[in-house]
Chain A
Amino acid sequence: MVINKDLMAASSTPIVLAILAEGDSYGYAILKRVRELSGGRLEWTDGMLYPVLHRLERLGHVEARWEVGDSGRRRKYYRITPRGRAQLADERRQWQAVDATLRGIWQALVVPGPAAGRVSAAPLPGG
């Protein structure tokens, strides 16, 4: 499924922060977790994760450190900060509000989706 760019950009912050809230991690492992969680439906271009991480670092939501991993290579690990947790909680409230609103409208609208239970832009032609 192709997810539009804006939605991707907006969701990347809570997703990355939430994954880091589970425990410290690094780029590749974060992407792997995203793939697991989304069941492969969210396809991020791998490289694009890094500017997101750097933005979160600049905002003070995560902090980074270099460590020598089990592979023997230097690897950059990210850890969520208290500010990042606060941000995550805030994002969570916002997304829940959006989610609740959409759920309401999906239920009111009786439009047959292409597959039951899957969100789709059915009203749009060719969507």
Chain B
Amino acid sequence: MTAAGHAVSLEEQIELWRSYLRRRQAIHSVDAAELEDHLREQIAVLAAAGLAADEAFLVAVKRIGDLDALSREFAREHSERLWKQLVVPSAETGEPQAAARRDAIAAFCLATLAAVIIKVPALFGTDFGADAGFYARNLSLFVLPLLTGYFAWKRRLDADTVRWLPVPFVAAAVLVNAYPLAPGGYSEALTALHLPIALWLVVGVAYAGGRWSEVGGRMDFIRFSGELFIYYVLIALGGGVLTGFMAMIFQSIGIDIEPFFEEWLLPCGAVGAVVIASWLVEAKQSVIENMAPVLTRLFSPLFAAVLLTFLGALLLTGRGIDIERNVLIAFDLLLVVVLGLLLYSISARDPRSPPGVFDLVQVVLVASALLADAVALSAIAARITEFGFSPNRVAALGENVILLVNLAWSAVLYVRFLRGRGSFTSLERWQTDYLPVYAAWAAIVVIVFPPVFGYV
């Protein structure tokens, strides 16, 4: 009986040791197996020499050596392992690899489908050049339903959720095409800009896969959105390089690719890349480090410094903000960037760790952005009647208020956390709870604004 007890505890000890080993990036599972074989033989020899199982285990582990030093040695021999390889899935076991391949195939099929769908209106004579408004209004409807479908499939959403997921897309499609929007007008531009934001929430619900009601699920969606953006930009840059070379080499044989580029490559590539980028984020989330938090770390202090200098200059020179047409939009964008910096630093932070210097930088960043925005808002408020209420201005003002409220309360929560009176999770909760507000405002802009402002 004692022997059996010992055997179990020895297995447990070996299991624990193996799990320590597996945490080392440079030591792959085959190497761990090799080392485990060594450990077991050593234990057997020591046990045969009369040592108790746990003693034999301790001696054998000690002989194998310090794991840090060992993994350094492995890393020196296999330096490529420290660079996680991108597209090649790790060939460890068969089952997850099959799932990964199925995912990849589904993503490529959906990307192709998106590329086909964006060309369908052309069959009915809707041209990219002549009917730019149609494509601008409907752009998100060409790709977001596919993305939603991808996640609904991947997350195996229950039938109830799947049933209502198409509703917002259908409603949006009917609405934006039924409204008599003036071509090239403000309302059309606003719709083109805000519909994707409103519908992005639907993607989020599918992405969260039943975890939308949890803070964690929504936070994952925030992380996903940031990474998706980065991947998309990278793909777009690559596409730009590819197109540049294509244009150059075909030019040399007297073929102009511009019509092909404008009619096919750009639209098909742009919608397909959304699906591909989403798939990449999903496939790589555990493989490579997330980039958004890294960029946040880099730019939060820089933005804070710029904003503080701006406020200082405002005070010293006593200049007012020159209210131009686009100044409100500029400040909206500033708040969006600051919010992004805040959001992605929150998303990567361990809620349990105590406040640090970087948290202070975040608070300074948010506070200075709020001050700068308040100055701009007061300058605008003084002259808003003079400018009149165009749909653009009202939308920009609404966004400004929404962002201001979010950042102001975030600053309060952050200061509370820094002073040890609140937990970091309340800040997380606030940010994730706020997500529907953006979508709701975007929906209002799309649904309510055109009739109110006469579809101009």
Contact = CB atoms under 8 A, between A and B. Distances in A.
Contacts of B77: 51, 54-55, 58
Given A28-B42, A54-B78, A48 B34 contact: no
A73 interface: yes
Nearest to B40: A73
A120 to B, nearest CB: 26
Interface in B15-67: 30-31, 33-35, 37-38, 40-42, 44, 63-67
Interface residues of B, number: 23
Contacts of A69: 37
B37 A75 contact: yes
Nearest to B73: A51
A119 to B, nearest CB: 26
B64 A47 contact: yes
Contact of A27 (B34, B66, B74): B34
Interface in A12-54: 26-28, 45-48, 50-51, 54
B41 A45 contact: no
A101 interface: no
B217 to A, nearest CB: 41
Contact of A48 (B30, B33, B44, B73): B73
A74 B32 CA distance: 12
B156 interface: no
A28 B41 contact: yes
A45 B63 CA distance: 6
B155 interface: no
Interface string B67-84: 101100110111000000
Contact of A46 (B40, B42, B74): B42
A50 B32 CA distance: 10
Q: In the complex, which range does the number of interface residues on chain A fall in?
A: 10 to 19
Contacts of A58: 77
A71 interface: yes
B231 to A, nearest CB: 33
B33 A74 contact: yes
Nearest to A49: B38
B34 A50 contact: yes
Contacts of B74: 50-51, 54
Contacts of A26: 37
A54 B80 CA distance: 14
A93 interface: no
A19 to B, nearest CB: 15
Contacts of B78: 54
Contacts of A45: 63-66, 69-70
Contacts of A55: 77
B73 A27 contact: no
Interface in A45-84: 45-48, 50-51, 54-55, 58, 69, 71, 73-76
A26 B36 CA distance: 13
A55 B38 CA distance: 18
Given A46-B42, A46-B63, A47-B65, A28 B37 contact: yes
A103 to B, nearest CB: 32
B65 A46 contact: yes
B37 A74 contact: yes
Contacts of B69: 45, 48
A26 B40 CA distance: 13
A91 to B, nearest CB: 19
Contacts of A27: 34, 37-38
A47 B70 contact: yes
Given A45-B65, A47-B64, A54-B78, A28 B38 contact: yes
A47 B35 contact: yes
Contacts of B63: 45-46
B137 to A, nearest CB: 58
Contacts of A51: 70, 73-74, 76-77
Given A45-B65, A55-B77, A50 B40 contact: no
A48 B31 CA distance: 12
A33 B63 CA distance: 16
Contacts of A46: 38, 42, 63-65
17 contacts: A26-B37, A45-B63, A45-B64, A45-B66, A46-B63, A47-B64, A47-B70, A47-B73, A48-B65, A50-B31, A51-B74, A54-B31, A69-B37, A71-B40, A71-B44, A74-B37, A75-B37
Interface of B: 30-31, 33-35, 37-38, 40-42, 44, 63-67, 69-70, 73-74, 76-78
Interface of A: 26-28, 45-48, 50-51, 54-55, 58, 69, 71, 73-76
